[in-house]
Amino acid sequence: MSFRVGLLVTFYKLNQNTRPRDTKSYAGPLAHIEKMKLITYLTLCFIVVSCSDNIDPEQYLNKMEIKTNGDYTILNENYSPAIGDLLVEFDLKLEQGEYENIVNQIENHPDFVLLDSLEQYPSGHSQTNSVERVEFSCKRINTYYRHLFIPNKSGYEDYTFYVSKDSILRFQYADE
């Protein structure tokens, strides 16, 4: 949302200064044309971002080897692109069968562990020099956790979700 607001503010400020101050000089009309090109470009960027498709949760969950039945409701979603970065977040309300399906997949993952109530959830951020993917699956108190960290040449991809006892799945993806 803040990306869209930033584009609108930039568009407004540039639009205020698009009229050439000195029409007798050659630079005035050229400066006006360059500003109009920039305004057109920013407008197109705003349209593309505003008209982007909804998030497909299964696209991200499949990357984490989590298969769904589609028995969920999207409560909210956030898609925040930036130069070189991308953040995707969504919350799902799982039906009982879907909740059991996802919990079963987490518990049956080869790296699944039960955590003490004081232990922190593991992550792959300490593995940034590694070129291999890092995965964690665990349960702490009544919350299941799944994490996938994939380093790459330009940074990393980070997938994380929590499934709480009330059948809410909270997901976050970051591409840095």
Q: pLDDT value at position 2? A: 45
Q: What is the pLDDT along the chain (176 residues), one digit of tens a residue?
A: 444 444 444 545 555 555 555 545 555 566 666 776 767 666 555 544 544 557 899 999 999 999 999 999 999 999 988 777 889 999 999 999 999 999 999 999 988 888 887 667 666 555 545 567 788 899 988 899 999 988 887 888 889 999 999 999 999 999 88
Q: Which of 154, 141, 149, 138 is nearest to 172 (CA)?
A: 149
114 - beta bridge partners?
139
Q: pLDDT value at position 95? A: 96
What end-to-end distance do the CA atoms of the chain give, in Å?
A: 19
User: Residues 44, 66: one domain?
Assistant: no
User: Residues 40, 64: one domain?
Assistant: no
Question: What is the three-class DSSP state of 45?
Answer: helix
Alpha helices in the chain (DSSP H): 2-16, 27-50, 57-63, 96-107
User: Residues 42, 66: one domain?
Assistant: no
Show the domain range for 120.
57-175
User: Residues 23, 102: one domain?
Assistant: no
